[in-house]
Amino acid sequence: MNYKSEKLLNGEIYGWMLKCAACELKFHIKDVNDLNVFPVPDGDTGDNMWRTINGGVNALATCKTEDLPDAVVTSSKGMIFKARGNSGVILSQFFKGITLVLSGSDSADAAKLIEALRSGVKHSYAAVLNPMEGTILTVARESAEYAAKNVKKDAPLSELFAKLLTGMKNSLKRTPELLPVLKQAGVIDSGGAGLYYIAAGFSRALNEDVEKTKAHYGIQANLVDGEPDQHSHADNVNVDLFTADDVMKYGYCTELLIRLQNSRTDIESFDDDAVRRFLSEAGDSVVYFRSESLVKLHVHTFDPERVMSYMHNFGEFLKIKIENMTLEHTDNDSPVALIDLASDRIEQSEGRRRGSGSELMDEFGLGQEEYPEKKFFGTVAVCAGSGFAETFKAMGCDALVSGGQSMNPSTQDFIDAFKNVNAEHIIVFPNNKNIVLSARQAADLYTDAAVHVVETSDLGQGYVGLSAIYPDETDIDSIIASIEEAVSSSSSGAVSNAVKSGNFDGVAVSEGDFIGFIGKKIISSEQDVVSAAMLLTDRLIASSESGSIITCFTGRDTDSFENSILEKAIAEKYPDTEVFFTSGGQEVYSYILVAD
């Protein structure tokens, strides 16, 4: 069976196309990542785009209808909430634009699809404050126009998407001519390449036999919750953290997704309150919600078997996650531990800018009615590294979002964090340029508070921004202005290993060198980390309006000997400058330096 001659798109075909697109992109994640221009290991465009489109595939898996409007709306919402990085947000908005056209029809012909593609282009451009040509935006726009000019209104779907793919290929080849930084690096645009592979999946879904395509993609043809192998953390358990002599102290973090069954319970009159009472008796940190026949719950309990047995009376499990929280509390470098630092290990000390009673809610962010009156403002910061987590919390940050370079959080991650902040206004520090769009998209979607995104581009700027907050200020515009002024008058940079060779803005870089950079501008490239850091420090002090204080956050892999040499060198060269070294615990960057 194939869809080669089909002229009308319905929900069934759309679902198959979307699944093939996710599979095709997953096959090429590394290819897309490797197109990264900057010589730092931050190439994550492929991951971000795959996680975004796979959010649509996962959402669609719960949609039992073959109706086209339901299929496009459900998958679009899934993409929006799972969007990561700038490329992921742009992609989610591209599909949102498509959805606005297709959601009004039970089927769509080539003419309607071209209209939808143009709508997708319009929305993707609108998502970017300053759109640049030579990017994914150009590839989307030019390919849609190419298809419109070369496909008849009654053409088969397979012909339309074959032409769309050709248009993307032609446009992608031209991106280096439109964007000088691509030409200098000798690559094509990574976001455009990701979109090309998505279109390739669409085309394969329509032009090839279904069974042949399933065989081509293998098990990934049935992909629902898969993760790219290189980023999967599911099996990364340090078993040495819980030995034969240890005693369970924290219990199990238990999460269940359950489909209620008509054969086991009356779904229309299902007693949610009874389940909540049981969960409250069985453990704590209870989060429970139901949408028709779907139940999702979270509880910290010493007896997860009892919870499972009770819930099994009403339906079947769709997903089960049980984690030993003793491991999570012990392993301070794990992603889960970063959340623990943000919620479970906050010391209530004088001078912190926490509102009274503002304990962080659990990761699902429900049950807000149990919390006291909202305080005026709270803060959310993206953070990587246990040292940075401790520092940000000590500075009064209300909630942390785990993420950073090569680990971009999703729109949903931000929304979950917003739910943890009981405030009228929420100030967000993305701390990475590639995370700003996700933070903005979450801010637009969130309705329980006014969310203000301060466009901090790195952890150093986030540190400066948090430092500028006065806890008793009651004018949100003044608070934001103070933060932005502090960030703009400071300078921050980082040192990392180069993953590729080349000439960048007049600096010759060899793979393996230590490079110092401010933003995307490379300042130094040296064979040893201390020399690179010193040259970066020189530039930071020279460019800072004050430069009287240098704060250095040491990376996870730096050693105390290198740190002491660097600290001494800065102190000797700049005797009038205060120098503070503290553990950041961040990956990728050996040092993050801030001059303010």
- What pLDDT was estimated at residue 90? 94
In 3D, which of 470, 490, 493 has the Cα closest to residue 480? 470
- What pLDDT was estimated at residue 240? 60
**Tens-digit pLDDT profile for residues 63-103:** 766 799 999 999 999 999 999 888 999 999 999 999 999 99
The answer to whether 467 and 486 are in contact (CB under 8 A) is: yes
- What pLDDT was estimated at residue 360? 27
- What pLDDT was estimated at residue 142? 97
Q: Which CATH architecture best describes the domain 333-489?
A: 3-Layer(aba) Sandwich (3.40)
For residues 107-133, average pLDDT:
93
pLDDT at 493 > cutoff 90 = yes
Angle at 95 between CA 94 and CA 97, to 5 degrees: 70
Counting Cα atoms < 13 Å in the Cβ hemisphere of 116 gives 23
Neighbours of 197 (CB within 10 A): 26
- What pLDDT was estimated at residue 7? 96
Average pLDDT over all residues of the chain: 84
Residue type at position 214: K
**Tens-digit pLDDT profile for residues 16-71:** 999 999 999 999 998 998 888 777 765 689 999 999 999 999 998 877 667 999 99
- What pLDDT was estimated at residue 326? 66
18 sits in which H/E element: helix 11-27
For residues 485-514, average pLDDT:
89
Report the percent of the chain where pLDDT is more than 90. Answer: 57
For residues 242-265, average pLDDT:
83
For residue 433, the 8-state DSSP code is G
Report the percent of the chain where pLDDT is more than 70. Answer: 85
* CATH number corresponding to 491-595: 3.30.1180
All structural domains of the chain with their residue ranges: 11-226, 248-329, 333-489, 491-595
- What pLDDT was estimated at residue 352? 31
> 293 Cβ partners below 8 Å, 6+ apart?
259, 260, 261, 267, 315
Q: Which of 227-236, 255-264, 503-512, 517-526 has the lowest mean pLDDT?
A: 227-236
- What pLDDT was estimated at residue 152? 93
pLDDT at 368 > cutoff 60 = no
- What pLDDT was estimated at residue 403? 81
* CATH number corresponding to 11-226: 1.25.40.340
For residues 300-318, average pLDDT:
92
Residue type at position 88: G
CA distance readout (Å), 472 to 64, 163, 534: 51, 60, 38
The Cα 533–Cα 258 span in angstroms is 52
For residues 242-271, average pLDDT:
85
- What pLDDT was estimated at residue 224? 42
For residues 436-464, average pLDDT:
94
pLDDT bin (cut points 50, 70, 90) of residue 450 is very high
- What pLDDT was estimated at residue 231? 38
pLDDT at 226 > cutoff 90 = no
* CATH number corresponding to 248-329: 3.30.70
**Tens-digit pLDDT profile for residues 500-539:** 888 887 889 998 999 999 988 899 999 999 999 999 999 9
Neighbours of 134 (CB within 10 A): 21
User: What's the N-to-C CA distance of the chain in angstroms?
Assistant: 65
The Cα 398–Cα 386 span in angstroms is 16
Tokens of 241: 């953290």
- What pLDDT was estimated at residue 217? 83
Stronger pLDDT, 408 or 424, i.e. the higher one = 424
pTM above 0.85, yes or no: no
pLDDT bin (cut points 50, 70, 90) of residue 287 is low
For residues 419-434, average pLDDT:
93
